Amino acid sequence: MCELNVNMVEGTNTITLMEDVVRLVVNNNNEITITGMLGETLTVQGKIMHVDLTKQEALIRKID
């Protein structure tokens, strides 16, 4: 399967927001809703920097 690990960059730090992600939805005002394989959701403020399916990773830059 193609689940992703979603990480967020804040300054020089990178943190993992969620593993086994199956959906990313970009909403209004730079909101991104992340949905995991089991249906759990998380909404963050940020911009998608890149999505790499070969590494199974999405990287989001935090926006305040």
Q: How many CA atoms lie within 13 A of 15 on its CB side?
A: 5
49, amino acid identity: M
pLDDT for the residue numbered 2: 78
Q: Model pTM greater than 0.85?
A: yes
- Burial-class residue 38 by CB neighbours within 10 Å (0-12, 13-18, 19+): exposed
pLDDT in tens, 10-61: 999 999 999 999 999 999 889 999 999 999 999 999 999 999 999 999 999 9
